[in-house]
Amino acid sequence: MNRRTYTALALAAALLAAPIASERSAEAAEPPIRIEFDGETLALDADPFIKNGTTFVPFRALFERLGLEVGWDAATKTVTGQGGGATITLRVGSAEANVDGSVATLTEPPSIVGGRAFVPLRFVSENAGAGVAWDGTQRLVTVVTGPPTAEREAAVRAAYEAYVEAVNREDAAAAQRALHASSPLRGAALKAADSFKRRDVTTTVESLVVEDAHGGQATLYVTEVNRRTAGAYYVDNRVDMQVTMREGAGGAWTIYDASTLSQEWIGPFGAETGAEVALEDETAARNTIASYMEALNQEDLEGALRLVHLDSPMRGATEKTLRWMFETYGLTHELESLRVLERDDDEMYVFTVQAMRKTDGPKLADVRTESIHTLRRSAGGQWRLFATIQGRTEALSIPQ
């Protein structure tokens, strides 16, 4: 996803059969839960039920439909499914399962109801390589065991590429429409128009792999290169991402979420731009950043936040991080060097090298970090921290 728009779980206790049975009777007024495998209804000899958001089904019918050979140990109440290179073991009442020799945690443990052992449908299905989706309106669970069809993969790919095209032509409205209505990315996307006014950046998709497209959800692995072609300062970069997309009415796919897996800066980080910078701008930038670091050294949360722009997208995360940092560590911060790279009417782009050393708290290495800060003028005319990207980090000590 273009970096202009997108610039960072509880064990359940074992439950007895009687409380589960009573919850099932309380659900009687709800429509029955339906389960479809590859478009066909799964035949069950007992009704599925939902417990704390987890759908349970009789284990034997599920394992056999997934092509797993079923094993049942009555003495330990342990069920095992094996096949297709996977081995899944669950025990009634235990929130720990074993998948191919590794321990995994269940949100709800298997249970015995009416003399039958019930297991969590999603956990078993996904670990057997199937895709699972839940439609709460229809109370329908859809399980797909085969690879995504060529048609679905093409639709997912086209929807993502259309988003990239919208961003490249700086069409903020079209980019917003490409996001799912409940996407956590929508807030960041609303800021795209401001970025479009300041600079032109071209995104090139180097690689796009549709890893999964089952049951109304798709997972993509994308590599993109973002390069500035005009306008305000920007660090060209290559980014690897995992993108989640969801299918809506009529088969339309939209972007739901994205996470950065890795990122590299193209060209020297913080390189000279050739722009002329007034001494007064460098002095103002140094005062703002040095004052911010002094507030950190004094563990003055309010003082630090006064130096963060009110419109900064990192303001909320900064407050949470600083609260945790002040409670956990004693740290000193030193500004070693500073250079203003560029400045426009209301923003300044500043390269710094700073050192952080631990004086108290759990093990932590001392580090030296290169950063590029965006400073933006506040309503009162002061320069305030608006955004920061981090370059090279050098360890100055072993964790101690």
Task: Kindly list the distances between the CA atom of residue 309 and the CA atoms of 1, 176, 193, 360, 378, in Å, as whole numbers in the listed order.
Answer: 25, 25, 18, 30, 7
Specify the DSSP element, H or E, that contains 323.
helix 315-328
Please state, in angstroms and as integers, the Cα–Cα distance from residue 123 to each residue in 59, 78, 130, 141, 186, following that order: 12, 16, 10, 13, 30
| Cβ(159)–Cβ(51) below 8 Å | no
**Cβ neighbours of 262 (radius 10 Å):** 9
Give the three-state DSSP class for 253: strand
| DSSP code for 308 | B
The one-character DSSP state at 149 is P
Cα torsion angle, 24, 25, 27, 30, sign: positive
CB-based burial, 74-94: b 16+ in 10 Å, e otherwise: eeebbbbbeeeebbbbbbbeb
pLDDT tens track, the chain, 400 positions: 433 333 222 212 222 222 323 333 334 457 889 999 877 899 999 999 999 999 999 999 999 988 889 999 999 999 999 886 779 999 999 999 999 888 999 999 999 999 999 999 999 988 887 888 888 878 899 888 766 678 888 999 999 999 999 999 999 999 999 998 888 887 766 566 778 889 999 999 999 999 877 656 788 999 999 999 999 999 999 999 999 888 776 678 999 889 899 999 998 898 878 788 899 999 999 999 999 999 999 999 999 999 999 999 889 889 999 999 999 999 999 999 999 999 988 999 999 999 999 999 999 999 999 999 999 999 999 999 999 999 999 999 999 9
Q: C-alpha angle with apex 195: 248 to 374, nearest 5 degrees?
A: 125
- Cα gap 10→347, rounded to integer Å: 44
Q: Which tokens hold the place of 93?
A: 């009442």
Report the chain's C-alpha Rg in angstroms.
27
CA–CA gap between residue 289 and residue 272 (Å, rounded): 19
What's the CA gap between 121 and 57, in Å, rounded? 6
Task: Name the one residue in this structure whose structure tokens are 């964790």.
Answer: 399
Residue type, 371: S
Report residue 282 as tokens: 């460098």
Rounded CA-CA distance 332/298 in Å is 9
Helical residues (DSSP H) of 58-179, grouped into ranges: 59-65, 121-127, 150-168, 172-177
Q: List b or e across 169-202, with b for residues whose CB sees 16 or more CB atoms inside 10 angstroms.
A: ebbbeebbebbbeebebeebbeebeebbebeebe
pLDDT at 118: 96
Q: Which of 276, 279, 252, 53 lies closest to 160, judged by CA?
A: 252
Alpha carbon 164 to chain centroid, angstroms: 19
Contacts of residue 158, defined as CB under 8 A and 6 or more positions apart, other chains included, come to none
| The two three-digit tokens of residue 286, written as one number | 């140094």
Judge whether 229 and 201 are in contact, CB under 8 Å.
Answer: yes
Instruction: Give the model's pLDDT for residue 23.
Output: 36
Assigned token pair, 399: 């964790």
Could you report how far apart the first and last alpha carbons of the chain are, in Å? 38
Tokens 């069409």 identify what position? 171
The rounded Cα 13 to chain-centroid distance in angstroms is 28
**What are residue 97's DSSP bridge partners?**
104
Closest by CA to 309, choosing from 397, 377, 214, is: 377
- In sign, the C-alpha dihedral spanning 142, 34, 81, 119 is positive
